[in-house]
Amino acid sequence: MTKLTAVFAATKRAFDLPKDVIYLNGNSLGPMTHASRARLVDEMDNQWSKKLIRGWNESGWYHLPETVGDKIAKLIGAPKSTVTAVDSTSINLFKVITAALALNPERRVILSDSGNFPTDLYVAQGIVSHLNQSAEIPYTLKIVKPEQVFEAVDETVAVVMITQVDYCTGRLHAAKEIVEKARRVGASTILDLCHSAGALEVNIEALAVDFAIGCGYKYFNGGPGAPAFVYIRQDLINQVKPILTGWMGHAKPFDFSLQHTPAPGIERMRVGTPAILGLASLDAALEVWQGITLAQVRKRSIELSELLMQEIAEHCPALTLISPTKASERGSQLSYTFTEGYALVQALIAEGVIGDFRMPNIVRFGIAPLYIDEADIIIAAKKIADVLNNQLWDNEKYKARHAVT
């Protein structure tokens, strides 16, 4: 056993994984850690139930957003006190888009691409629609193809908003080049890290991105609906004037002033009362990262992805790879197309291999080395081949759509 194999054998034991299940869907929802269960039990049995409201001081609840934020900052290559863990990704995106627009008041264009996660586009559409009710010069959300983003960045753009890893294909944006060009032309930048934080070396400070957001429930394994996070470049933080303001983002929230004064630093991006149970679960889940680096995770991810790609190419010709073949051009997932993609995913779930489906016919397999190893990949590939070769997916029960696909 190599040193790297031993490291990830240890992290795998930290997760409460169902027996006889190969979980290739951590890019949608990470599995539960034993630490999260223990923490939530403690929060309910010893903190909330015993201390009641005293828990805000005695249990450290009030400072959890910054405690968790600092842990995430380390994992995305950001300085301490530049990340806070609060709210959802969509709400945090609203905060940073409006803040970025305020930094460029003479410009009216938000630039994004058709490969962006839809909620990012929806939030931007809502902001544009609202602002245009009173704007003399209308705002515009300009959507181009992913490969056209770099060329579309010019002096008319106020904000460039991209998701680093395409949620459908796993394609990795050339974020460094895009950010550098945006800075040259005076545009602000927003990077969505939902499919990259915890999967690859983001190095957000080195990228010099102005704002970033991401979620806590994918590669960080915080649990369903776990709090998201928001990052602001260190030298920019105190220039930002949040539009969505609430008492927890106030400089002195318990003075109960009738006038909002932003808190110094990243805490100004807080709004309402933090979701303590969700934050506690996420805080505990992040313990699994102690003693490992994103460089190790990325190396392992590439090894496992290459193995799965090779196995599927050899035994599953019915699947068409749409993820980039070069590891340097993709995140930590492999995406394939199949005519009956939804039915295939449901049949695989019945056989103990959990991936997921995206419209119109995309089958995704997420590779999370913290709990996936070579043996899992080989078993999964064999089951995928079996379901395809024996047409097990061709069953009406697998074609009936659930609410969540």
CA–CA distance, 258 with 378 (Å, rounded to integer): 61
Tokens of 245: 């303001």
215 contact partners, CB below 8 Å, separation of at least 6 = 88, 89, 194, 197, 226, 228, 229
- Helix or strand holding residue 364 (H, E): strand 362-366
Catalytic residue among 8, 117, 167, 365: 117
Residue 165 exposure: Cα atoms within 13 Å on the Cβ side: 28
The predicted pLDDT at position 235 comes to 97
CA-based nearest residue to 118, from 358, 378, 388 = 358
The reported pTM is 0.96
The predicted pLDDT at position 91 comes to 98
pLDDT tens-digit series, residues 27-78: 999 999 999 999 999 999 999 999 999 999 999 999 999 999 999 999 999 9
Catalytic residue among 218, 233, 270, 330: 218
pLDDT tens-digit series, residues 327-351: 999 999 999 999 999 999 999 999 9
| Cβ–Cβ under 8 Å, residues 119 and 127 | no
CATH class of 41-289: alpha beta
CA–CA distance, 296 with 308 (Å, rounded to integer): 18
CA–CA distance, 159 with 353 (Å, rounded to integer): 40
3-state helix, strand, coil split of the chain in percent (to 5) is 45, 15, 40
Catalytic residue among 217, 220, 229, 231: 217
pLDDT higher than 90, residue 6 = no
pLDDT tens-digit series, residues 213-242: 999 999 999 999 999 999 999 999 999 999
Fold assignment, 3-31+293-399: Aspartate Aminotransferase, domain 1 (3.90.1150)
Burial of 6 (0-12, 13-18, 19+ CB in 10 A): exposed
Catalytic residue among 210, 219, 364, 365: 364
| Cβ–Cβ under 8 Å, residues 281 and 138 | no
Active-site residue flag, 217: yes
pLDDT band for position 280 (cuts 50, 70, 90): very high
Catalytic residue among 113, 192, 283, 356: 192
pLDDT higher than 90, residue 371 = yes
Active-site residue flag, 386: no
Q: How many CB atoms lie within 10 A of CB 287?
A: 14
Burial of 41 (0-12, 13-18, 19+ CB in 10 A): exposed
| DSSP assignments along 71-132, one per residue | HHHHHHT--TTSEEE-S-HHHHHHHHHHHHHHHSTT--EEEEETTS-HHHHHHHHHHHHHHT
CA-based nearest residue to 160, from 111, 126, 219, 215 = 111
| Cβ–Cβ under 8 Å, residues 147 and 88 | no
| Cβ–Cβ under 8 Å, residues 385 and 316 | yes
Active-site residue flag, 192: yes
The predicted pLDDT at position 127 comes to 98
Active-site residue flag, 51: no
User: What single-letter amino acid sits at 106?
Assistant: E
pLDDT band for position 364 (cuts 50, 70, 90): very high
The predicted pLDDT at position 1 comes to 59
81-116 per-residue burial string, b: 16 or more CB within 10 A, e: under 16: bbbbbbbbbbbbbbbbbbbbbebeeebbbbbbbebb
What value, to the nearest 5°, has the Cα angle with vertex 27 and ends 23 and 31? 50
CA–CA distance, 358 with 396 (Å, rounded to integer): 19
Q: Across the chain, what does the average pLDDT equal?
A: 97
CA–CA distance, 229 with 150 (Å, rounded to integer): 26
403 contact partners, CB below 8 Å, separation of at least 6 = none
The predicted pLDDT at position 7 comes to 86
Active-site residue flag, 364: yes
pLDDT tens-digit series, residues 152-171: 999 999 999 999 999 999 99
CA–CA distance, 123 with 89 (Å, rounded to integer): 10
- Helix or strand holding residue 301 (H, E): helix 294-315
CA-based nearest residue to 346, from 297, 300, 398 = 398
- The DSSP call for residue 173 is P
